[in-house]
Amino acid sequence: MSIEIDEAYLKRQLEALLRIASPTGYTDEIVHYCSRELERLGLKPELTRRGAIRAVRQGSRRHGARAMVTHLDTLGAQVKSVKDNGRLEVIPIGHWSARFAEGARVTVFSSAGSFRGTILPIKASGHTFNDEVDTLPVGWRYVELRIDAVTTSRQETLALGIDVGDVIAIDPAPEFLENGFINSRHLDDKAGVAIALAAIEALERAAATTPVDTYWLFTIAEEVGVGASSILTGDIASMLTIDNGTSAPGQNSAEFGVTIAMADQSGPFDYHLTKKLVDLCQSEGIPYQKDVFRYYRSDSASAIEAGHDVRTALATFGIDASHGYERIHMHALVSVARLVAAFAVSRVEIKRDAREISGVEGFTHQPTEEADNPLPPEFGSTGSRNT
């Protein structure tokens, strides 16, 4: 069955998620929001001790379940030291360039409450430093956080309640354009969360049945490499990660349709599950392309590295300038949501996956036959080109 995605709902969820600061290590509030929305949609969320969310939509069978995983945490920063001039030295949370930190408006979460501020180059004034503002190197050592409070010394900043280790959230500054483009920070992976919620909403609205239970997982530390390492259960046989694809020179990703990742830096994704996604895109008329990401890892990698024996795949929405000031298009978000919903209701092909360990009977095969590759007629029967 074809599941219709409510584009307006998806957009509303993305707007709401972007308003909630959630750098890795400071995700409690977005966990509360996402849990409430899951409950409103009819699911019962379960939380780990630190706040990763697991919600099950029941299917016809428990064993051999499927999982859809996204992550709630985003990039951010942290106070490294309080400088003599009262400003803050900062270090990144997650992997991103200080080039994109320069000029960012931020919120510092301290024990005394939150403070607003701006990350600036240490030589920010052209009237003072002249050409040095253009020759200053790019790096976290060359930026500082100016707090919007009366402080000109380390002692005054510490007296405000700001100290080493305080978490810093970077303003997303979202802009939703009429032509479908969306510009914002933290679309990785707030857009993936919105996609998952939209797929759930569509399945519930259609009263869709699924052949196996579907686990909807929302992790809280993907940006620092932890991801889905501790939230899977033994019932889960296959896992589809929803995350961003890198649209950039040399990549095949696009801001339209679904980009299906064939491999990332941890190696190839599961052959059979990835092929199933391609087949679903073709049968459902969902535009797609394939790509390989050399400098990229996701919740799938953390699950496999933690020892979970699950088939994994990665369906992405193309992002331009990933981990910077990002841009996506609604066409990709709706396309991925359609694929996620289609995967949830699709039949199970590999029935032995319902058991963690079993014999060789029913185990999969991968094609190895030689392709039909006849010589063109102009070469003749001997292989020499006829002239």
DSSP string covering 152-171: -SHHHHHHHT--TT-EEEEP
At residue 275, what are phi and psi to the nearest 5 degrees?
-60, -40
Side-chain half-sphere CA neighbours of 6 within 13 A: 18
User: How many Å apart are CA 10 and CA 338, to the nearest integer?
Assistant: 12
| 3-class DSSP state of 5 | coil
Of the candidates 83, 174, 156, 162, the residue with the CA atom closest to the CA atom of residue 116? 162
Of the candidates 326, 222, 218, the residue with the CA atom closest to the CA atom of residue 264? 222
Of the candidates 385, 345, 281, 337, the residue with the CA atom closest to the CA atom of residue 70? 337
Is 201 catalytic? The answer is no
Contacts of 6 (CB under 8 A, 6+ apart): 198, 201, 202, 205
User: Count of residues for the chain?
Assistant: 387
Retrieve residue 374's tokens: 């006849």
Contacts of 346 (CB under 8 A, 6+ apart): 211, 276, 280
CB atoms within 10 A of CB 194: 26
In contact, 286 and 258? CB cutoff 8 Å: yes
Of the candidates 222, 223, 255, 326, the residue annotated as catalytic is 222
**Quick one: DSSP state of residue 74?**
B
User: How many Å apart are CA 375 and CA 373, to the nearest integer?
Assistant: 7
In contact, 254 and 246? CB cutoff 8 Å: no
Report, as residue numbers or ranges, the catalytic residues: 222
